[in-house]
Structure 1
Amino acid sequence: MEKTSDFKAYLQSDGGAVVFPVSAGGREVRCSISRDALEQFFWLPAEANEARVVKAFSDGRGRVFALAVRMALRAKSDTLALTAADFER
Structure 2
Amino acid sequence: MDVIDLLPEIAADRHEISFRLTGPRSEVACAITREALEAQFWLPGDADPVRMLKAFADGPRRIIAVAERKVRLRPGEPVRLTADDFQIRR
User: Would you call these one fold, judging by a TM-score over 0.5?
Assistant: yes
Q: Judge conservation of contact 1:8–1:21 (CA < 8 Å) in 2.
A: no
User: How many Å apart are 1:78 and its aligned residue?
Assistant: 3.4
Name which structure has the greater RCO, CA cutoff 8 Å, separation 6+: 1
Amino acid at match of 1:22: L
- Once the two structures are TM-superposed, the CA of residue 65 in structure 1 deviates from its matched residue by 0.8
- Amino acid of the structure 2 residue aligned with 1:36: E
Moved beyond 2 Å, runs of 4+ = none
- 1:71 corresponds to: 70
Q: Deviations 1:35-87 (Å, cap 9, x if unpaired)?
A: 00000000100000000001000101111011112211221343110000000
Mean Cα displacement is larger for which, 34-43 or 68-77?
Answer: 68-77
Q: TM-score of the superposition, structure 2-length normalised?
A: 0.89
Q: Does the 8 Å CA contact 1:21/1:31 hold for their aligned counterparts?
A: yes
Question: In structure 2, do the counterparts of structure 1 residues 15 and 8 end up closer, same or farther at CA, with 3 Å as the change threshold?
Answer: same
Distance 2:4 2:16 in 1: 18
**Count of residue pairs brought into register by the alignment:** 88
TM-score normalised to the size of structure 1? 0.90
Contact 1:25 1:73 in 2 (8 A): no
